[in-house]
Chains A and B, each alone.
Chain A
Amino acid sequence: MPAGIPFEDARKRYRPGAVPTVRSDDTSVDELLKGYHPDHGLNARVALSIGVNQGDPCQPDLARYLQANALIDDIDIAGAQVISTDVLIIGGGGGGCAAALIAAKQGAQVILATKLRLGDSNTVMAEGGIQAAVGEDDSPQLHFEDTLRAGHFCGEPELVAQMVMDGPDVIRWLIQLGVMFDLEEGRPMGGNLLRKKPGGASAARILSYRDYTGLEMMRVLREAVDLDPAVEVWNRCPAVELLSDERGRCAGAVIYNLESRTYVLVRARAVILATGGAGRLHLNAFPTSNHYGATADGLVLAYRIGAHLRELDSFQYHPTGIAYPAHLAGGLISEAARSAGAKLINGEGERFVDELKPRDVVASAILRECAQGRGIDRDGQTGVFLDTPTLEMENPGILAKRLVTLRHLARKCGHDAALEPFLVYPTLHYQNGGVAIDKDGATSVPGLFCVGEVTGGIHGRNRLMGNALLDILSMGRRAGAKAAESGAGAMAGRAGIGHVHAWQRQLTLAGLPLHVKAPQLFPGYAHFDLRVDAALRRGKWGGAGGGVR
């Protein structure tokens, strides 16, 4: 990347209060994406050499993890406690919680195992809001068209249609559970939900609570799950492998209890993976906005047991990640800032893109500015300005009232958002593809369901703001209901990790390295090694019960 414009020079050119017009540009969207989006370019993809998606393109770093060896051997789970349940949910974010609540409501016994703690997820980091077509000038049809268009028409129309139709009911369900939403002002008797227009959408459709909608949602979902007697929550319990029976059905999972350092085999009639995305794998060496647990565990496990995946070479880079200071790099500045009217300014004081274009377009435009030397350099970090001072001047009080997180973030960065613009750079934000699912979240492996970011097919090759929250709740509720139904069937015969042996054969025959192991469970810089950790357990096996909870 060529050197950009020094921060001091750029700061001098920047004029708060002035809103320049967008620089005229005759580059087509297609050319812009092909030229600057990280999904494109020479080393953007490799073909998978083993598994059901053999031959399909995949992001190279992700391919390495998908085609990795298992963390455990059969002997590691000898002597492991076996626990049976109707539905096992892996992942404690919004999708997992929604699935747990609905499955439990339908009478299923549920275990929800989460690697970190319940609610410690990307859901709480969703700031902007949730899309649902509830406005009188809006309709599910418009929502459907916007979603498909933004996804470059790669999404599954049936899945998208189902999701947008679920939208209003999901909002009603959330309100009934106790989730707060911002309301339109000037209606003292209560009234309409406040709607904002997200980038890439044709109507105001974002419903939000301040700029921490996901956190508010998770607050309520987490309480509801914790209070539900039919849902047992296991914190600090990552899944390290799925269990299969002799017919190749998913029959549960091997859970590692980080506190007692023991393995537990959970046998379940249905397993729901709600493990989120892959941001913390730092694909293409990008910083990420994702939370600590986003290491593609579910994707790796699902692929190994034989689930079909899709769009593995498509990721969303959020345009406005923090670029400076370096220790906060990748942290997300919500799209709420841009949907409220904040502009992007390059080192020459120009606006270079319509800020409300879809995320891939805006991110590519920023990458282009930086690549062509119009970015801003500050202490080795490069980016462009997000003009919050002008936003505050035009809408006095907006930072204090509606963009609370943003103001807080600015303080963490060491400046006042009302006086200084942010330096921003795209950040790895979302895995567009994932496990292929049907309308109930069922995968190509019987007994295995997937929900949320781990799945593919809804968002095509690019996701709209606010559609992720809708996706996890719409699909989470549906998968929970369907999984609870499968509780009626008999428990599969013997559950083991036979599919792992078949996988290891494929690895060897394809000449792939056996020492690369996945799922990673924690980001590389956590230096977590499952074998080392398990070996720390002293003396005899943790004993009956093992203190799983």
Chain B
Amino acid sequence: MHKLNQVLLRDDIRVGADLDAWLACGGGEGLAKALRDPLAILAEIEQADLRGMGGAGFATHRKWAPVAATAAGDKYIICNGNEDEPGTFKDRYLLEHTPHQVIEGALIAAAATRANHVVLYVNPHQPLALNMVRQAVEQWRGHSLFSELGRLIGGPLSLDVIPSSGLYIGGEETAVIASVEGGFPFPRRKPPFPAEHGVHGSPTIVNNTETLAHVPGILRNGAQWYRGLGIGNAAGTKLYSLSGDVLRPGLYELPMGTRLEALVFEHGGGMLQGKEFKAVFTGGPSNTLLTKRDLDVALDFDSVRQRRSRLGTGAMIVVSEGTSIVRKVSEYVSFFAQGSCGQCPPCKGGTFQMMRLLGRIDTGHGVRADLEALENLCRILPGSGRCGLIDGAVTVVESSLQQFRAEYEALLIA
């Protein structure tokens, strides 16, 4: 069995909001090292192959580099702690138990890019996380490392906690920017990308909470150490939110590239009631379903993508033979329909129609025409929204229709 909780969730670093305790267990070393040689940070992150843990798996240094390269002026680092999707519960855990790890990561990012605004954007529906971050930030403001960072940037450095709207859409990168500006979290068209035109037009980096939490360790122990934690080509560790029909659901930090089978059967204790494994909803849950033949897949961004799915946030919602795929998909599509911000008509109407059709089938009123309408929507909706919400909703419907069509058909009344 792989080693559990080696880095982010290590027992001894879950110290809460106490900064002294964090510094006593090795915290602050990464930031100190970054301050000694700020120009080397980007290279270190690049060598470590740190990826965006919020779902995209985009290389972190590629987000940072353009912001670091722009001329001095207002720049923003935003830690995205809006986490709200079904089955994902990693960021709130980090913020509740080891907020300094995340904040230090954000400060290192500021050092790398000379950003003078650091924002912790936290979901207010997780009051404990919000409270912890507020306490933690308060302690950083008076610390010498913080003033040293201010001197490096060459001006006043702001470190703020901003509660998000608590809406699902508020976690989308451009919606985060809209929200931080004080508006409703409407996603915006890309390009321009946040790195060029973010908060109030300033270069902005929006990183997931888990991504930033990895940064202090990389700086402290080096890129080689980080790469060595992963399996095969994958680097580092990953927080997997395991839920659904397994015996021991929960948050597991495992080497990036751990096989699905190991996660479900070794760490998760196997299927609930010994039932047959059926499928896994990954990420949002807005991705292609992983099925029995994917049990051997290595859970890293590239390997999962090769199976035409995505690792997403690392959420793994496991479904056994005792659970209905249609009910689950209906549940998630309802979630997306309720989470749609409504500015793009195809998304607003499309998610609603899909929810309605799935609801009809799931409650024993569906006919064949409903199934056909659903398939039609899956053909015409993709790409019709500013953000990826509609695409995610379509992907999960389409994939479940492809792989579990019989389950849908069995529920039709005519």
Contacts and interface: CB of A to CB of B under 8 A. Distances in A.
A515 to B, nearest CB: 10
B413 A504 contact: no
Contacts of A74: 322-324, 327
B324 A544 contact: no
B377 interface: no
A364 B248 CA distance: 48
Contacts of B138: none
Contacts of A285: none
B245 interface: yes
Interface string B83-113: 0000000000000000000000000000000
A544 B364 CA distance: 7
Contacts of B364: 79-81, 262, 541-542, 544, 546
B247 A79 contact: no
B334 A494 contact: yes
Contacts of A541: 364, 411, 413
A543 interface: yes
Contact of A73 (B248, B249, B323, B326): B323
Interface string A521-549: 00000000000000000001111101000
B160 interface: no
Interface string A345-382: 00000000000000000000000000000000000000
A501 interface: yes
A378 B308 CA distance: 78
Nearest to B245: A501
Contacts of B411: 78-79, 541
B185 to A, nearest CB: 21
Given A74-B322, A78-B324, A544-B413, A508 B363 contact: no
B328 to A, nearest CB: 8
B413 A508 contact: no
Given A79-B362, A494-B334, A508 B323 contact: no
Interface string A455-494: 0000000000000000000000000000000000000001
Interface in A78-108: 78-82
Given A73-B323, A501-B245, A79 B410 contact: yes
Size bracket of the A interface: 20 to 34
A75 B411 CA distance: 11
A467 B326 CA distance: 49
Nearest to B319: A74
A92 to B, nearest CB: 25
Given A78-B407, A79-B411, A541-B413, A494 B331 contact: yes
A509 B249 CA distance: 12
A13 to B, nearest CB: 60
A512 to B, nearest CB: 12
A546 B361 CA distance: 15
Nearest to B331: A494
B74 interface: no
Contacts of B323: 73-75
Contacts of B249: 505
A75 B413 contact: no
B363 A504 contact: no
Size bracket of the B interface: 20 to 34
A496 interface: yes
B365 A505 contact: no
Nearest to B411: A79
B322 A508 contact: no
B324 A75 contact: yes
Contact of A82 (B331, B363, B413): B363
A400 interface: no
B20 interface: no
B370 to A, nearest CB: 13
Contacts of B321: 75
A504 B272 contact: yes
Contacts of B362: 78-79
A67 to B, nearest CB: 15
A514 interface: yes
B272 A505 contact: yes
B376 interface: no
Given A73-B322, A543-B413, A544-B364, A78 B272 contact: no
B144 interface: no
Nearest to B410: A79
A251 to B, nearest CB: 13
A492 to B, nearest CB: 13
B405 to A, nearest CB: 14
A546 B363 CA distance: 12
B342 to A, nearest CB: 19
A75 B322 contact: yes
Interface in B299-332: 321-324, 326-327, 331
A261 to B, nearest CB: 13
Nearest to A73: B322
Given A81-B363, A494-B331, A514-B273, A505 B247 contact: yes
A78 B273 CA distance: 19
A505 B247 CA distance: 5
Given A501-B272, A508-B272, A544 B322 contact: no
A78 B400 CA distance: 15
Contact of A80 (B273, B322, B363): B363
Interface string B346-378: 000000000000000111110000000000000
A262 B413 CA distance: 14
Contacts of A509: 247
Nearest to B328: A74
Contacts of B273: 69, 504, 508, 514
A504 to B, nearest CB: 5
Contacts of B407: 78
A325 B361 CA distance: 55
Contact of A78 (B248, B274, B327): B327
Nearest to B366: A79
Contact of B365 (A78, A504, A544): A544
A26 to B, nearest CB: 57
Given A78-B407, A81-B364, A505 B248 contact: yes
Contact of A496 (B327, B361, B365): B327
A69 B323 CA distance: 16
A82 to B, nearest CB: 5
A541 B361 CA distance: 11
Interface string B243-259: 00101110000000000
**Residue among A75, A504, A543 with the highest chain B CB neighbour number at 10 A:** A75
A247 to B, nearest CB: 11
**Residue among B245, B323, B361, B364 with the highest chain A CB neighbour number at 10 A:** B364
- The 10 A-B pairs at the shortest CB distance, nearest first, are namely A78-B324, A73-B322, A79-B411, A74-B323, A79-B364, A75-B324, A82-B363, A541-B364, A81-B364, A78-B327
Given A496-B327, A505-B272, A514-B273, 14 more contacts: A74-B324, A74-B327, A75-B321, A75-B322, A78-B407, A78-B411, A79-B362, A79-B411, A81-B363, A82-B363, A505-B247, A505-B249, A540-B413, A544-B365
8 contacts: A74-B322, A77-B324, A77-B327, A79-B361, A79-B411, A505-B247, A505-B248, A514-B274
